[in-house]
Amino acid sequence: MNNRKKISIIGSTGSIGTQALEVIDKLRDKFEIIALAAGSNVELLKLQAEKFRPKYIYAAKEINVEGIKTLNSLDEIASNKENDIILVACSGKVGLKPTLKAIENGINIALANKETLVMAGDIVMKKARENNVKIIPVDSEHCAIHQCIKNISQVDKLIITASGGPFLHKSAEEIKHATVKETLNHPRWNMGKKITVDSATLMNKGLEIIEAHHLFGFDYENIEVVIHPQSIVHSAIEYVDGSVIAQIGLPSMHIPIQYAITYPERFEGIKSKSFSFAEIARLDFEKPDFEKFPCIKLAYKAGKLGGTATACLNAANEEAVFAFLDRKIKVCMIYEIVRKMLDEHVLIKNPSIEEIFKVDSDVRRKTREYISSLNIK
């Protein structure tokens, strides 16, 4: 009975975390939950703890559940070697430190938190190699690539698909006047607010290019983006001989989450129905319009600059997205703001983690100040 995989979830009340618990609920005999951690949603964390009975819980706010020990920090979860794997499902920079700590402790990571690699991909991947730790991507595109790759040295190119988001067929003028509600109306994926705005501007794809660069060690020239509105092909790779392998499936985050936490095994688990090519009937592909969606170009630029440029991109983007969600700026200004911050950024080529966090907070402050100075009503 006790060869169950021991797992902790950082960010159990978010979109990925709750879906991960749905997966685990179907695979109760395969998993033992060590710890569940949340930010401020203590009501939901309480319900989860009562249902799944982890050994430990942690929340950014005060929480008490009878018979379950409350921890004082995420670090305590990340340094608990009982864990076979930790699912890092929180959003934002809060995921970075516990991920590094878990890697130092030799614990495998199922990684849903983009910021970890966008902010500090070089450091994280180097540490993972040194500690022989597997980083298994949860992001559907990277999970797809992970599933396609057999021999990475024979792969020539990564092809990341993008649904195109809610603005795909809108004109630049329509995008300019898009409301928060229109922006959050994603046609394919149901996700948290921040990532849904990123999907509308295609900055999400930009962040994913940076993620792919670190995860698979590919140059930016060999990472391509293609628009694929149906979100059935989750990404593909091209081998040196021209053979292309794609991973295909219905657009549900349950599948990549389950893959990442059960890897290298596979179980029926959450699968609800069989895939039918005939039902899908057609798949469309087109080139991304870099003029209409310039954020992708910015991400390539930051990625190629390397060092702290991607942490700057991430911080400026997140602050701009928050300002948009607060209705302080229009969605089209996100690009202008991030570009300005990136242009003015003083690059550190091989930063330490402390320097990365400093860039993060400096750029955030500068971005907020700049947005206030715009004085837009």
Q: Does 115 bind Mg ion (CB under 5 A)?
A: no
SS3 185: coil
Report cis status (omega within 30 of 0) of the bond before 264: yes
x-marked contacts with Mg ion along 127-166 as a string, rule CB under 5 A: ------------xxx-------------------------
CB of 148 to Mg ion, least distance (A): 15
How big is the site for Mg ion, counted in residues (CB under 5 A)? Answer: 3
Name which of 32 and 141 has its Cβ closer to Mg ion.
Answer: 141
User: What pairing do the DSSP bridges indicate for beta strands 108-111 and 31-38?
Assistant: unpaired
x-marked contacts with Mg ion along 271-290 as a string, rule CB under 5 A: --------------------
Name which of 13 and 140 has its Cβ closer to Mg ion.
Answer: 140
Name which of 59 and 261 has its Cβ closer to Mg ion.
Answer: 261
CB of 139 to Mg ion, least distance (A): 4
CB of 141 to Mg ion, least distance (A): 5
CB of 195 to Mg ion, least distance (A): 8
Q: Which token pair is 363? A: 């750029």
Name the residue number minimizing CB distance to Mg ion.
139
Hey, what's the torsion of the CAs at 83, 89, 95, 97, to 10 degrees? 10
Q: Which token pair is 255? A: 């599948």
In Å, the largest CA–CA distance within the chain is 62
Q: Which residues contact 291 (CB under 8 A, 6 or more apart)?
A: 172
* Half-sphere CA count of 31, side-chain side, radius 13 A: 29
CB of 173 to Mg ion, least distance (A): 28
Beta bridge partners of 225: 160
Name which of 48 and 199 has its Cβ closer to Mg ion.
Answer: 199
Q: Which of residues 182-241 bind Mg ion (CB under 5 A)?
A: none
CB of 234 to Mg ion, least distance (A): 8
Name which of 54 and 165 has its Cβ closer to Mg ion.
Answer: 165
Compute the C-alpha angle 335/341/343, nearest 5°.
95
In a 10 Å sphere around its CB, with 0-12 CB exposed, 13-18 middle and 19+ buried, how is residue 45 labelled? buried
Binding footprint of Mg ion on the chain (CB under 5 A) = 139-141
